[in-house]
Amino acid sequence: MHKNRLRFLVILILLLLLSSTMFATKALLLYKGSEQGYGYNVQLKYIAPELKKLLIDYDVIDVETDSFKNTSLNDYELVVSCYYTSQMNQAKQYLKSLFDYICQGGKLLIINNIGASIDSSGTNNPGLQELNSVYNLLGVSYTYSWKKSKPIQVSINSEFQADKTLSFEKERDVESYLFIGSNIEPLIQVVAGDNKTYNTAFLSPIGGMIGYNYLLDDNGKVTVNLSRVFGELIYGDWKNYKLLVVGKDNYELRKALDYTLLDYDWTPSLPSVLFGYEAVIYLNDTVELNDAVLNNYMLDGGTVVILAMGSVTRVIKEIEVTNDIFPVPNEFKISWNKSVRFQEQKTSSEILLTSSDNDVLSWKIEIGSGQLIYYPIDLLEKRLRGLFIQTVFSQLPISIQPVINSYSIYLDDFPLPAYNRKIDALTREFGDITDNNFYYNIWWPMMKELAKKFGIKYTTAFVANYNASVTWPFSFQEYINTPEQEKALQELLDGEYEIGVHGYNHIPLTKSNWKEDELADVLRTFKIFLRNVLNEQYVPYTYVAPNNIIDEFGAKELLKVFPDITSIGTTYKATDTISEFSVIGDKTVVIPRTTSGYYPVQKIISDSVLSIMTLGTFQYFVHPDDVFSTDRNPENKTWKEMYESIQSFISIIQMYYPFLNNHFSSESAEIIYEFLTKKPHISLTDKEMIVSLPLECDFPRYYYLRANKPFTISGGRIVFVSNDLYVIAQLDDVMKIVF
């Protein structure tokens, strides 16, 4: 079927891109009310249940009512008609509506007969030309050749046969349909009493027919696999790259999947047909599977992921990850120190994840040509979302994951007020110096050298005061008392840095901290101050929330006064809604901090890598005063030791993830906004994958790709390879990956 079908579907995808929308997966079931329930009963008894199995919604309408006249066929991807009689009021108009629908990309399945060969008015009957205007689009030519005949032989396409014990002894209607295309699949062929062969059921890429009582055999058994028929019509050789989740809602799993931008369906119970899913994620109380549908799905090559607890409970100190799951630095470990319930691995299973004490936490086992993956649900936490995704995707025959591919480094609370204090941690290391000396004569020059050495960009978060004022008067005396702050601001303004804002002071913008009028006043005051200090041309695009805290009230008030803010920095460690990568308002994105501090190097590396696994990004924060902060420097390390740690961290990240692009926060915000608001459409056959983007997307867009066979790319290029993971840059609206 298949060159023409592929050509048609590629054209259809491009047409859909031009319209920027896609058909909803919905079917329209048509019957005639005058036939005393014939078509209605067939639709509800045989057709509707198969559509439900495929999670396809449908409407059922009487074609002889005003409801049909007021219905737009273009709202449906598939129309299924079932009529017993050949009479239709305004038959020609009905045929023209089917013709228009198919020409605009719709698909039509006719059961029994087309139902409009005769106009019920007795005049203005359609001729062969009108009838074939529809039939020819389906790939056949029709002639008047109806007859009754007892079948001598009935042949059913083995790929579509629903039952092997079918009986066709009774006399039946037959009619001639001549195939006029090479992409038509015969479903049922009948040798009649005249020794001629009749195609009584057929399928093409855009429709088909199951004619004259050949839907059922003599005993009422369905003759063809309707799920397969509908799957072919809805997906063709192509299918959307889609996952299925079965079980109760789970926030962490839903967010992990949302961040992949991939399509997924979520159902509370297992459907009886799993056609078209790359994997089935099963939230279950136990690891044991006794379901025939899942077992058959795996035997046929499918992947089932079991998210469950297990019979073993242990405190897991560290989780070990290998390069088979994702590219990781040598001796990469994730500090955990939590109790985990997991299931001991099955005999002959393959190990995926282990603990530092050699506990097997996740494993897989082959079943037929497919596989079962076990993953402990206790490890499905926010910080480990990416670990779950990579553990699963690394095992699929083909997987693709859109990613952001951008990271930012923030100098939080800089430039900052200083107070000429002599602090023990500083005087022990540097002698008789003050905090002013350290911030502006030691820390800042060394951070500039770090940027030069590694070619990295900084976004600063300027804070004017550390006072606790939430009511008038609002002044800037702390800034005035720190002349070094003004000098550093001017240096940042003149140099290759981004100046973000942290606020008038360090009080979070929340409804519990501020009255609306006072917050409006302080924000306007801060805006005027920035204009006075940094000139009219300075526009802040990045805001970092003090203590990483802001609520919807604070964000709304902030954007009223600073409408050009495109990035609001919070923290990924929080649990509220403003701790997720998300869009606020028209163009502002929340960019939560994923990584902070100078050490332990293993901890800040693992935090960053887990974020790279999740979204292809990390957001790294350091502060000038970390060295003498008891909670941020609990081991009392010297500044020299902390500086060595940050050098080690950046060196490792650049060594293992050279594809990652470093951006200012405002630049990253634009990329993240595009990522979250312009989702790619991904479709797949056994031979190729097409990734289509909405119009007016910025390029490149990036993806993690894994494939168990060689491939070529058009409309994109490979930018990084590690084991079987490819980082792909998409450079055109449509990218094709041919296997």
Asked if the peptide bond before residue 600 counts as cis, ω within 30 degrees of 0, the response is yes
For 240-257, what is the mean pLDDT? Answer: 95
Token pair 């079927």 is at which residue? Answer: 1
Of 77-91, 172-186, 412-426, which gets the smallest average pLDDT? 172-186
One-letter-per-residue 3-state SS of 385-418: HHHHHHHHHCCCCEEEEEECCCEEEEEECCCCCC
pLDDT band at 237 (very low <50, low <70, confident <90, very high): low
How much of the chain exceeds pLDDT 90, in percent? 82
Q: How many residues in total does the chain contain?
A: 739
pLDDT digits (tens, 9 = 90+) for 28-48: 999 999 999 999 999 999 999
> What's residue 116's pLDDT?
96
Of 122-126, 454-458, 496-500, 708-712, which gets the smallest average pLDDT? 122-126
pLDDT digits (tens, 9 = 90+) for 194-204: 999 999 999 99
479 φ/ψ angles, rounded to the nearest 5 degrees: -65, -45
Question: Which range has the top average pLDDT, 272-286, 463-477, 480-494, 612-626?
Answer: 612-626
pLDDT above 70 (res 21): no
As separate numbers, helices (DSSP H) first and strands (DSSP E) second, the chain gives 20, 41
DSSP strand E in 595-677: where?
595-596, 619-622
Question: What is the Cα–Cα distance from 345 to 664, expressed in whole angstroms?
Answer: 45
pLDDT digits (tens, 9 = 90+) for 603-655: 999 999 999 999 999 999 999 999 999 999 999 999 999 999 999 999 999 99
Give buried/exposed letters for 532-552 (b at 16+ CB in 10 A, else e).
ebbeeeeebbbbbbbebbbbe
Question: What is the Cα–Cα distance from 710 to 688, expressed in whole angstroms?
Answer: 11
Q: Are 86 and 126 in contact (CB under 8 A)?
A: no
List the end-to-end C-alpha distance of the chain, in Å, as a whole number: 19
pLDDT digits (tens, 9 = 90+) for 267-309: 999 888 887 899 999 998 777 777 888 999 999 999 999 999 9
Mean pLDDT, rounded, of the chain: 92
Asked if the peptide bond before residue 624 counts as cis, ω within 30 degrees of 0, the response is no
Residue type, 115: G
> What's residue 238's pLDDT?
67
Q: Report helix, strand or coil for 343.
A: coil
Token pair 């107070």 is at which residue? Answer: 419
Domains belonging to the chain, first-starting first, are 2-235 (3.40.50), 239-396 (3.40.50.880), 408-672 (3.20.20.370), 678-738 (no CATH)
> What's residue 20's pLDDT?
35
Q: Are 206 and 8 in contact (CB under 8 A)?
A: yes
> What's residue 668's pLDDT?
98
DSSP strand E in 416-512: where?
459-463, 498-503
Q: Could you tell me whether strands 588-593 and 582-584 are parallel, antiparallel, or unpaired per DSSP bridges?
A: antiparallel
Question: What is the Cα–Cα distance from 315 to 361, expressed in whole angstroms?
Answer: 12
Q: Are 204 and 109 in contact (CB under 8 A)?
A: no
Question: Which range has the top average pLDDT, 14-18, 25-29, 575-579?
Answer: 25-29
pLDDT digits (tens, 9 = 90+) for 696-725: 899 999 999 999 999 999 999 999 999 999
pLDDT band at 9 (very low <50, low <70, confident <90, very high): very low
> What's residue 360's pLDDT?
98
Which tokens in the block code for residue 115?
């139902």
Question: What is the Cα–Cα distance from 348 to 162, expressed in whole angstroms?
Answer: 35
Question: What is the Cα–Cα distance from 433 to 484, expressed in whole angstroms?
Answer: 15
Nearest to 225 by CA among 272, 295, 278: 272
For 188-195, what is the mean pLDDT? Answer: 92
The CA–CA distances, whole Å, from 331 to 323, 383, 604, 648 equal 10, 19, 14, 15
Residue, of 24 and 729, whose pLDDT is higher: 729
DSSP symbols for 415-443? S--------HHHHHHHSS--HHHIIIIII
pLDDT above 80 (res 737): yes
Question: What is the Cα–Cα distance from 641 to 639, expressed in whole angstroms?
Answer: 5
Q: Are 700 and 494 in contact (CB under 8 A)?
A: no
Question: What is the Cα–Cα distance from 345 to 94, expressed in whole angstroms?
Answer: 61
Question: What is the Cα–Cα distance from 44 to 34, expressed in whole angstroms?
Answer: 17
